[in-house]
Chain A
Amino acid sequence: MLDRDKGTSTANPVGTSDKPAKKLSRRTLLKGAAAVAGAAAGSDAIRGFPTIWAQEIKDIELRHVGVSYSVVKAIGDQAAKDLGFKVTMQNLDTSAAINRFISQPNTVDIADLEGWQAKLAAKRGVIQGIEVKKVKEFDNILPIFTKGEIDGHKIPRQGISPYEAMYIAKPDSTDLNDGVTEWATFLPQVYNADSIGYRPDLVGHEVTEWKDLIDPKFKGKAAILDVPAIGIMDAALCFESAGLIKYGNKGNMTKEEIDFTCNKLIELKKQGQFRATWTTFDQSVQLMAAGEVVIQSMWSPAVAAVRVKEIPCVYAPVNIKNGKEGYRGWCNGMGLMKHLSGKKLDAAYEYLNWYLSGWQGGFVARYGYYSPVPSTAKKFLTPAEWAFWYEGQPAPEVVNDPYGVPMEKSGTKRDGGSFLDRVKNISCWNTLMDEAAYMNKRWNDFKVA
């Protein structure tokens, strides 16, 4: 499908035939994607290296470092196959990753960054600006990221939205730029909207509000995410939902707001609300699958993983209502480390371009994550997969996971509806608050209480 041998002569169909879309509506998005799918049949999605280079690039190795749900070996292997140089994927947890980027920047080539990490990495001067012009699909990246809006809907800026962290004024600027420029800190590659997972058989009603997580009915059967920076936002969503407090900015709380939130958490803990807290994907799956909890903050693929074990589990659609609720969004993107130059830098740009050319988008879609360039991802999905994962329609046939294992029966509908229903209901983004040190201290108070 990725025919590199055709070289650069073929014009890229995506860049030319499909000039999108200052205001991208779902219709144009789908129409464009359909046109692309047609055009792609006879041409290539990737430019590939000119043959003269082919010898020299063999020795290049790119080290792509980041969290396991974003930096996936199967994707790196495919990239290496298509591009002809070596790609090594290395996984660390969120905190180890940002520490490595900052303290050993030369051991990383491509840093996989969340919005807030991109802000930090820029501040510390360990990344270089990505020249937007060199990214072929840049104009096809959803305006959620490039312009901070979609379908005329402004993307909320509570927390650090990908758009907010996206631009710097000059390639070596250390401060973010508010507004579009020619230089990007990171190139979004995968994202999703997190909410609550629950056992419909044991909860007994449909969950659409965060406050159910702190409902005394589920005392001793609830769990919350224990990564302070984002766990506190899940807690904030609960307390706001229950009408206990109204935050100025959940993603950047004042000390008073942090105190209120943590004191409330301590109170709930002492009342025995939480069966446990979890830090990894697997832990959250275990808690739910082993019957320890019936409701907890959870990630979409984790819910799917519980369901694969034939245990009913639903991902709560927490659409924004009355200025409350909403999903907590996150987005990982690729940053170029400062030390990249010459051929290695060229290879890194090739790699970025490959990432947005669709194979990866198709791969992550099959476990419930989204690509910033759905138009290319669509080419790598069957119509049934596209309908199920992106359009929120009942699956026309059995849906498989990325490794080909059947995952959803035909007729099932994805929780939370279509892609647009979900992203438009993101109310805050993963973040690192200004008062992070204080927040961390108070979170530890909660842990040790």
Chain B
Amino acid sequence: MTEFEAFADMQPSLSPALSPAQISPRANLAGWLYVSPLVLVLVPFFVAPILVVLAASFFATDGFGGLTPGFTLASYVEVLHSALTLKLYLATIKFTVVTWIFTLIIGFFVAYFLVFHVRNQLLAIGLFLLCTVPFWTSNIIRMISWIPLLGKEGLINQALLGLGVIRQPLEVLLFSDLAVVIAYVHQLTIFMIVPIFNSMARIDKKLIEAAIDAGASRFDIMRLIVVPMSKSGIALGTIFVVSIVMGDFFVVKVMSGGGSASVVSAFYEDVGVLQYPSAAASAVLLTLVLVAIVSLILRTVDIRQEITR
């Protein structure tokens, strides 16, 4: 979805440079051929389902899974008027922001280390691939493997108890917001590392040398050169992390021990009791919120321009 929106958003920036009239019919056809594989995937598997969801959100229901075609805003009124919706968004946004901060800091410095501190390029690529090793197994396994580590009788508590640092096992380690954030950061940091690494790798090292020669401090180099030139990577990573966290319900459910909820988990429960229209309305609302966030990010950083730089 994110790529799609990124793509959709790039279109306007393309058109001012080349108005449709200037493009020859042949080039136009070639253009369509280029995008056809993507269109063939996106239309049946993304556009069509979302239209179905959109339609369902306006239908009425008999409460037993029966949908009455029609047009009513009742589901939206209900979703938007509910204090629950606000609480769910606050909870989800809290997880998103905290996860974003940690993945950004860790991802940025890992990428920085790989690009600027590892002299041997082969070694850098090797280390980079090493970062992906945990991803050779499934998301769910990576998440669940935290449980025996963080539990009341888990390794960390055992170790701390053994060292005499604590007398009672720390309960906050598992089935808590902390546990949720740990799992997210573990799962998603790679989505920051990859694009940031990619954009940093293209920074000309001579630029840095010149800055050093001109007397810039390390902090200045970071602030005035590295960060601005990694902007596109940061923005892409942010889009990945934000959209994944906001669209998740499984990590929240398992790692919070069911003690917390998210926007998606709430409408998943709606589907469970066959309340399709209100689930659909919540889904549409979430899509709109995500579109708004992503376009805000794209407005701040012109990814297309940065990439072709």
Contacts and interface: CB of A to CB of B under 8 A. Distances in A.
Contacts of B66: 123-124
9 contacts: A94-B272, A229-B273, A276-B259, A277-B258, A278-B257, A278-B258, A287-B257, A436-B63, A447-B259
A445 B87 contact: yes
Interface in B174-211: 174-175
Contact of B273 (A228, A269, A277, A447): A228
A120 B148 CA distance: 40
A249 interface: no
Contacts of A220: 171
Interface residues of A, number: 39
Interface stretch (A12-20, A95-103, A190-198): A95-103
B233 interface: no
A99 B274 CA distance: 7
B15 interface: no
B253 A437 contact: no
A226 B84 contact: no
Given A277-B257, A439-B273, A448-B88, 14 more contacts: A95-B273, A123-B64, A124-B66, A275-B171, A276-B259, A290-B152, A291-B152, A292-B175, A434-B63, A436-B273, A437-B275, A437-B278, A445-B87, A449-B87
B236 to A, nearest CB: 30
Interface residues of B, number: 36
B266 interface: yes
Contacts of A287: 257
A447 B174 CA distance: 16
Interface in B270-297: 270-275, 278
Nearest to B253: A279
A440 B82 CA distance: 13
A448 B259 CA distance: 7
A279 B258 contact: yes
A95 B261 contact: no
B151 interface: yes
A432 B65 CA distance: 12
Contact of B269 (A102, A283, A444, A449): A444
A443 interface: yes
Interface string A28-53: 00000000000000000000000000
A445 B269 CA distance: 12
Interface in B30-67: 63-66
A290 B148 contact: yes
Contacts, number: 107
Contacts of A223: 257
- Between A269, A274, A275, A441, the greatest number of chain B beta carbons within 10 A of the residue's beta carbon is seen for A441
Contacts of B278: 437
Interface in B141-184: 147-148, 151-154, 171, 174-175
A232 to B, nearest CB: 11
A444 B64 contact: no
A148 B148 CA distance: 46
B243 interface: no
A263 interface: no
A286 interface: yes
Contacts of A292: 151-153, 174-175, 257
A99 B257 contact: no
A314 to B, nearest CB: 20
A220 B168 CA distance: 13
Contacts of B272: 94-95, 98-99, 228-229, 440
Nearest to B259: A276
A254 to B, nearest CB: 16
- Between A275, A292, A443, A445, the greatest number of chain B beta carbons within 10 A of the residue's beta carbon is seen for A292
Contacts of B274: 98-99, 102, 120, 436
Contact of B258 (A94, A226, A445): A226
B64 A290 contact: no
Nearest to A226: B258
B257 A275 contact: yes
B96 interface: no
Contacts of A277: 257-259
A444 B258 contact: no
Q: Which 8 A-B pairs have the closest CB atoms?
A: A276-B257, A95-B272, A277-B258, A447-B261, A448-B261, A226-B258, A436-B273, A276-B175
A440 B269 contact: yes
Nearest to A444: B266
Interface string B243-259: 00000000001100111
Interface in A72-101: 94-95, 98-99
A443 B269 contact: yes
A441 B175 contact: no
Contacts of A290: 147-148, 151-154
B243 to A, nearest CB: 21
B91 interface: yes
Given A99-B271, A290-B153, A274 B64 contact: no
Contacts of B265: 444, 447
B181 to A, nearest CB: 16
Given A445-B87, A448-B84, A228 B175 contact: no
Contacts of A123: 64, 66
B65 A124 contact: yes
B130 to A, nearest CB: 31
B269 A448 contact: no
Contacts of B273: 95, 228-229, 432, 436-437, 439-440
Interface string A258-283: 00000000000100001111110001
